[in-house]
């Protein structure tokens, strides 16, 4: 429960990333890879520092980067250079290949896939939450948690630091971008068809996505009844917070939204808190923007969260059935959060991990 | 916890409604009114038994009813006749006018609005849940609960009867049809605009509805932080189940779905139950269809629930963090439900209340 040590700035800039002269983006044409390039461009990283590695079908094509074009190269060991940074924005198989090819190269990998998240020696990092717990100076591989986990933990971490957390009941409203660019394309194409009265023909998702919601499409573990997304939310929250007894009850559901996830959360604290204390803890936390205007019904939505670096948090309220102390303090609170799945849920978090690693290498 | 007395059939047919020779639909051009007419037509009720009452702007127009056309008349006291049934599918103000005009007429009113739901003398009825608790023979006014409450209680009632319920944590995924035909039109129009790249111009909802989700638009009570929809879910569940201490933690959210609501529910039972017992209780209950194929990721969705009479229930699983007995029994379970907001959430429930009242009048 002790406050985390002060973090260096997480701003993603050319200067912050200077200890990595070469930045390699593996999977630059996918939804997360494109977002990584957008953030590097925003941070003023010159095109000459960036290499793009794509699958065979993309090799030889060019990826726009501001006014420049980046040539897509093939994946091979030479890609991974000493003092390089490689941002892996591809699938788990590609991530495993990259790890093999990069072994001993001195290139740091930050992976977005689920390939290594459960390996105890590989840091699983949300900078605002556990960024100060790792020595990233010599780290060769770090992982992004699952997007839903990142957004949840950024929003809840201030409450955990101040009051402790015993239980989270979470229902997600997850954007189709979690399934990559193909998921976004399917949403738009199928919605057009639905408006024209055509029957749905889903390919990426197991259910029609237009004007529908559906239980997350990851496989169900027959032993637990949890789908893969829910199992990650439980396991990764426990691991990142170092609390194997944390109770997490997740229901992961997809909604026809492009690229920001929303989560309805009921949190039970260890220590009762008053509403003003809850709000103060959230208001001063890194990575959060409170959007909570009851009079105007202005709360987090995925549209508002789109292209934001922060996780939006609102609908902060005491549980209607909670035990309340004479000072209004309660252990059970509810809130709603929205965060950009491609940005803080993936690309931005990976780049912030790289910024932390860069700071450790100075 | 005693099993409810056996109910008469809830099938909505011309014969079941015979004790009401005249059936009046107030608000026949709205989303719920149209659904009521569809269900009366399906039940074989002849056009000659039906009267349609609309607002001034609709008077003189015709409403299709199978091959027939029904003339829309104006609202006046003569509409409410002895042994008549009036299905009020309009707003709360219209419902209050109808009650005044119908007073002493011997016409039974079944209201879909929130006008009378909190009056202790007015039955608030979900037939499968508390239908046997009322003497509807002489009842002049009964109410439909809120749509989210109806769907939730139909799905959970078998578990309450068998094991008791201590707490419900509910996150809703509510269709735009809850805001009527205008909500549905806004969803389609705004989605078309969004696909064409035009900026949103919401009128019915406070937020853009295309490719978005948003906290339910009902006003927030500054004292509790609950929106109106959440407050109804708490108050109506407690009232219908006769359990003022029931704990309900709701988060009500709208999604860009046309006409069926989905709800993610975590339920804490009074008595621990095994999964087989939970499934058996749900499988044999009235008004429910279990859709729960883990191998094929086939679970309730609003598309599957659309135009279904039943509430679909699935994703039945033990809470991953629940205390588990040696026989696998637990008090905490999760499930996902979807039900047609216009049908069981409104029109069908009202007609089933009328069927119960008709049976009591034979």
Q: Classify the phi-psi angles of B43: left when phi > 0, otherwise alpha if psi is within -120 to 50, otherwise beta.
A: alpha
pLDDT at B4 over 70: no
- Report yes or no: A11 at the B interface, CB cutoff 8 Å: no
Q: Tell me, what's the pLDDT at A139?
A: 95
> Closest partner residue to A171 among B226, B264, B297, by Cβ?
B264
The token duo for B184 is 């549905």
CB A42 within 8 A of CB A34: no
Mean pLDDT calculated for residue range B93-104: 97
- C-alpha to C-alpha distance for B349 and B342, rounded to whole angstroms: 9
Q: How far is CA B256 from the centre of its chain?
A: 19
Q: Show Cβ contacts of residue B307 under 8 Å, excluding neighbours closer than 6 positions.
A: B340, B343
> Closest partner residue to B234 among A295, A300, A320, by Cβ?
A320
pLDDT in tens, B211-220: 999 999 999 9
Give, in degrees to the nearest 5, the angle at Cα A160 between A158 and A164. Answer: 145
pLDDT at B269 over 90: yes
Burial of A333 (0-12, 13-18, 19+ CB in 10 A): buried
Assign B257 to helix, strand or coil: coil
Q: Show Cβ contacts of residue A107 under 8 Å, excluding neighbours closer than 6 positions.
A: A24, A80, A81, A82, A83, A84, A85, A86, A140
Q: How much of chain B exceeds pLDDT 90, in percent?
A: 96
- Report yes or no: A293 at the B interface, CB cutoff 8 Å: no
- C-alpha to C-alpha distance for B215 and A262, rounded to whole angstroms: 10
In B, minimum Cα distance to A295 occurs at B220
Q: What is residue B345's DSSP assignment?
A: I
Q: Show Cβ contacts of residue B100 under 8 Å, excluding neighbours closer than 6 positions.
A: none
Helix (H) or strand (E) holding B127: helix B127-130
pLDDT in tens, A178-220: 999 999 999 999 999 999 999 999 999 999 999 999 999 999 9
Q: Show Cβ contacts of residue A197 under 8 Å, excluding neighbours closer than 6 positions.
A: none
Q: Tell me, what's the pLDDT at B8?
A: 76
Which chain A residues contact residue B302 at CB under 8 A?
211-213
Q: How far, in Å, are A79, B119, B141 from residue B115 at the CA level?
A: 69, 9, 11
Cβ–Cβ below 8 Å for B332 and A294: no
Instruction: Cite the DSSP H helix spans in B196-324.
Output: 228-241, 275-283, 302-305
In A, minimum Cα distance to B234 occurs at A320
Q: Residue A249's closest CA among B328, B265, B331, B319?
A: B319
Q: B89: distance to nearest CA of chain A, Å?
A: 25
Mean pLDDT calculated for residue range B15-34: 97
Q: Tell me, what's the pLDDT at A31?
A: 95
The token duo for A234 is 């439980």
pLDDT in tens, B155-190: 999 999 999 999 999 999 999 999 999 999 999 999
Q: How far, in Å, are A134, B171, B229, B257, B309 from residue B183 at the CA level?
A: 50, 21, 16, 10, 22
- C-alpha to C-alpha distance for B165 and B3, rounded to whole angstroms: 14
Instruction: Say how many CA atoms lie within 13 Å of B210 toward its Cβ.
Output: 23
In B, minimum Cα distance to A245 occurs at B321
Q: Tell me, what's the pLDDT at B6?
A: 62
Which chain B residues contact residue A212 at CB under 8 A?
257, 301-303
Cβ–Cβ below 8 Å for B207 and A258: no
Q: A195: distance to nearest CA of chain B, Å?
A: 7
Instruction: Point out the residues of chain A with pLDDT beneath 50.
Output: 1-4
Which chain A residues contact residue B192 at CB under 8 A?
195
Helix (H) or strand (E) holding B162: helix B147-163
CB A10 within 8 A of CB A129: no
**Mean predicted lDDT score pLDDT of chain B:** 96
Secondary structure (H, E, C), chain A: CCCCCCCCCCCCCCCCCCCCCEEEEECCCCHHHHHHHHHHHHCCCCHHHEEEECCHHHCCCEEEECCEEEEEECCCHHHCCCCEEEEECCCHHHHHHHHHHHCCCCCEEEECCCCCCCCCCCCECCHHHHHHHCCCCCCCEEECCCHHHHHHHHHHHHHHHHHCEEEEEEEEEECHHHHHHHHHHHHHHHHHHHHCCCCCCCCCCCCCCCCCCEECCCCECCCCCCEHHHHHHHHHHHHHHCCCCCEEEEECEECCCCCEEEEEEEEEEEEEECHHHHHHHHHCCCCEEECCECCCCECCCHHHHCCCCCEEEEEEEECCCCCCCCCCCEEEEEEEEEEECCHHHHHHHHHHHHHHHHHHHC
The token duo for A209 is 């996505």
Radius of gyration of chain A (CA): 21
- C-alpha to C-alpha distance for A331 and A165, rounded to whole angstroms: 9
The token duo for A198 is 């055509």
Q: A297: distance to nearest CA of chain B, Å?
A: 7
Q: Tell me, what's the pLDDT at A7?
A: 72
- Report yes or no: B234 at the A interface, CB cutoff 8 Å: yes
pLDDT at B7 over 80: no
User: What is the interface size between A and B, counted as CB pairs within 8 Å?
Assistant: 171
Q: Classify the phi-psi angles of B78: left when phi > 0, otherwise alpha if psi is within -120 to 50, otherwise beta.
A: alpha
Burial of A199 (0-12, 13-18, 19+ CB in 10 A): exposed
- C-alpha to C-alpha distance for B104 and A327, rounded to whole angstroms: 51
Q: Residue A285's closest CA among A165, A127, A125, A123?
A: A127
Q: Residue B52's closest CA among B87, B16, B20, B104?
A: B87
The token duo for B301 is 């969705």
Q: Which residues of B are catalytic?
A: 147, 261
- C-alpha to C-alpha distance for A78 and A72, rounded to whole angstroms: 14
Instruction: Say how many CA atoms lie within 13 Å of B27 toward its Cβ.
Output: 25
Mean pLDDT calculated for residue range B280-303: 97
Q: How far, in Å, are A189, B33, B46 from residue B65 at the CA level?
A: 35, 12, 9
DSSP code per residue over B295-310? TTTB---HHHHTT-SS
- C-alpha to C-alpha distance for A103 and B74, rounded to whole angstroms: 81
- C-alpha to C-alpha distance for B125 and B145, rounded to whole angstroms: 7
Q: B292: distance to nearest CA of chain A, Å?
A: 10
> Closest partner residue to A191 among B173, B195, B300, by Cβ?
B195
> Closest partner residue to A212 among B191, B248, B302, by Cβ?
B302
């Amino acid at each position: 429960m002790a406050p985390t040590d002060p973090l260096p700035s997480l701003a993603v800039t050319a200067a912050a990333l200077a200890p990595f002269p070469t930045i390699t983006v593996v999977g630059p044409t996918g939804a997360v890879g494109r977002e990584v390039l957008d953030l590097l461009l925003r941070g003023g990283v010159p095109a000459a520092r960036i290499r793009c590695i794509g699958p065979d079908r993309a090799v030889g094509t060019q990826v726009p980067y501001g006014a420049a074009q980046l040539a897509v190269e093939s994946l091979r060991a030479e890609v991974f250079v000493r003092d390089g940074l490689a941002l892996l924005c591809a699938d788990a198989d590609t991530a495993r290949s990259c790890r093999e090819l990069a072994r001993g190269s001195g290139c740091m990998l930050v992976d977005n896939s689920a390939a290594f998240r459960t390996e105890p020696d590989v840091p699983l990092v949300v900078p605002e939450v556990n960024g100060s717990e790792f020595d990233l100076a010599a780290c060769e591989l770090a992982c992004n948690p699952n997007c839903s986990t990142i957004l949840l933990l950024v929003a809840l971490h201030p409450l955990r630091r101040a009051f402790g957390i015993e239980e989270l009941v979470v229902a997600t409203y997850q954007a189709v971008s979690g399934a990559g660019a193909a998921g976004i394309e399917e949403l738009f194409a199928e919605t057009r068809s639905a408006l024209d009265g055509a029957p749905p023909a889903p390919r990426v998702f197991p259910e029609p996505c237009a004007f529908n919601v559906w239980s997350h499409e990851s496989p169900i573990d027959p032993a637990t009844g949890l789908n893969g997304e829910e199992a990650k939310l439980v396991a990764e929250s426990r691991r990142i917070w170092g609390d194997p007894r944390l109770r997490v009850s997740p229901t992961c559901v997809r909604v026809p939204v492009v690229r920001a996830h929303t989560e309805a959360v009921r949190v039970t604290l260890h220590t009762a808190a008053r509403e003003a204390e809850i709000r103060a803890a959230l208001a001063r936390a890194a990575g959060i923007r409170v959007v909570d205007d009851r009079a105007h019904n202005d709360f987090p939505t995925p549209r508002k969260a789109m292209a934001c670096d922060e996780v939006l948090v609102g609908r902060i309220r005491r549980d209607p059935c909670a035990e309340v102390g004479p000072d209004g303090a309660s252990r059970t609170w509810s809130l709603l959060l929205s965060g950009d799945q491609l940005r803080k849920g993936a690309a931005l978090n990976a780049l912030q991990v790289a910024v932390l690693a860069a700071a450790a290498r100075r």
